Amino acid sequence: MKEKKLNRIPMITFNKVFIYLLISAASILTFVSCEGVELNPENTVNIAQINEYGILADSLIEFQNEVKKNETLTDIFLPFNISYNEIYNLVQNSKGVFDVRKIKPGDKYTFYVSNDSSKSVKYFVYEEDAINYCVFDLRDSVNIYKAKKEVITKERLTNGTIEHSLYYCLEKQNADPNLALKLSDVFAWAIDFYSIQKGDNFKVLYDEIYVADKFYGVGRIKGAYFNHKGKDFLAYFFENENEKDYFDENGNSLKKAFLKAPLKFSRISSKFSPSRLHPVLKIRRPHLGVDFAAPSGTPILSIGDGIVTTVARNSGSGKYVKIKHNSVYSTGYLHMSRFAVGIKPGVKVRQGDVIGYVGSTGLSSGPHVDLRFWKNGHLVNFLKEEFPPSKPIDSKYKEEFLQLRDHISSKLFSADSSITQVAIN
């Protein structure tokens, strides 16, 4: 019997202690919860460390919000018991650092106030964009300064084989679809990205940018491989004190005298032909240009440097622009919906400049741009013209380039890519 009593007594004692601990824990949790409600109104959070703005905000309360339509700095400050006179002084002190006229709807801002009955403002932070912000330090004397969040780049290797589109392929790889635009810029002189097809494949080594540990966007492409219609294209970014550009595996610049197409993304809807059934007139006649179909309003780019010679409209071509590139080549862009601002005869344009927008003016059955290409005064088939690359890398940098090329290639064509992080100050 004594043994049984000895066994029971510790169990009873343990149960009491356990119940007591549960009650105590519940009380503590309730107390914390109540304190949280009192100290943290609906749009506030407690912070106890140096935050993304470099502010030691422990024992301060954070109020976050966004600028609303037609809201001014005065509207933002007044609810925090900052007087009109104080706001005026802050605006005066901010001159040359922060332009109060440029606050806009959607921009984020944060107040840090004291955790006491006065709720006095210690800091006000205004985000100009995802990276740049302005701090109003109101603790003692007013100190207003600009700063940047920490930016981290992470190197990433992405590859894939086209099934439907480049965008879809990148999404399947959990890569930012905006990488497609970057690739189209790199290979703009070699590949019409609307003509890529099922089975085309690619590898790309590039930087992803993170701001305050959040993905911000695609950075620079360091190297890329694209197999299009069975043909290999390679690109390597290389820079020195004289130039920075993309070059092929032999050190030739990827830039050529003319872009592959006058639109970033389009499809060829009609090719150069000595006899084509006109879609509107329904008769056979020569079509001495290349039609690139795209939605109305799509920007039309000059495919090369030159001088605008004609900005006009007629019944057949609709609104069109003609550009003289040199003594040999000229181009025309037909059926525009409108001309770009500033485009007029005599204006110099650079390769890639927007000169107008896709439309369907003139004898046209749908939105597109009809690209006409003159060589020595005669219309020729732009798609069959071969243009030499721009000058290659200077011989004194060739060895440096080849070393970089081999380094990038080892990553592009390896099974996996090492990930590096670099802080940008």
User: For residues 77 and 73, what is the distance between their CA atoms, to the nearest angstrom?
Assistant: 6
Residue 275 confidence (pLDDT): 58
Strand partners, 215: 210
Domains observed in the chain: 44-148 (3.10.450.350), 152-256+393-424 (3.10.450.350), 267-384 (2.70.70.10)
Could you read off the pLDDT of 108-155 as tens digits, one per residue?
999 999 988 888 899 999 999 989 999 999 988 889 999 999 899 999
Q: State the DSSP H helix or E strand holding residue 220, giving kind and residue range, or none if neither.
A: strand 214-228
Question: Dihedral through CA 302, CA 306, CA 309, CA 313, nearest 10?
Answer: 0
Residue 338 has pLDDT above 60, yes or no: yes
DSSP state at residue 56? B
Residue 37 has pLDDT above 60, yes or no: no
Q: Whats the size of the chain, residue-wise? A: 425
User: For residues 51 and 59, what is the distance between their CA atoms, to the nearest angstrom?
Assistant: 13
Could you read off the pLDDT of 347-381 as tens digits, one per residue?
999 999 999 999 999 888 889 999 999 988 889 99
Give the N- to C-terminal CA distance of the chain in Å, as an integer. 77
pLDDT class for 321, splitting at 50, 70, 90?
very high
User: For residues 146 and 127, what is the distance between their CA atoms, to the nearest angstrom?
Assistant: 10
Could you read off the pLDDT of 184-195 as tens digits, one per residue?
888 888 887 777
- Tell me what percent of the residues of the chain surpass a pLDDT of 70: 82
* DSSP per-residue codes, 76-112: HHGGGT--HHHHHHHHHHHTTT--GGG--TT-EEEEE
Residue 322 confidence (pLDDT): 96
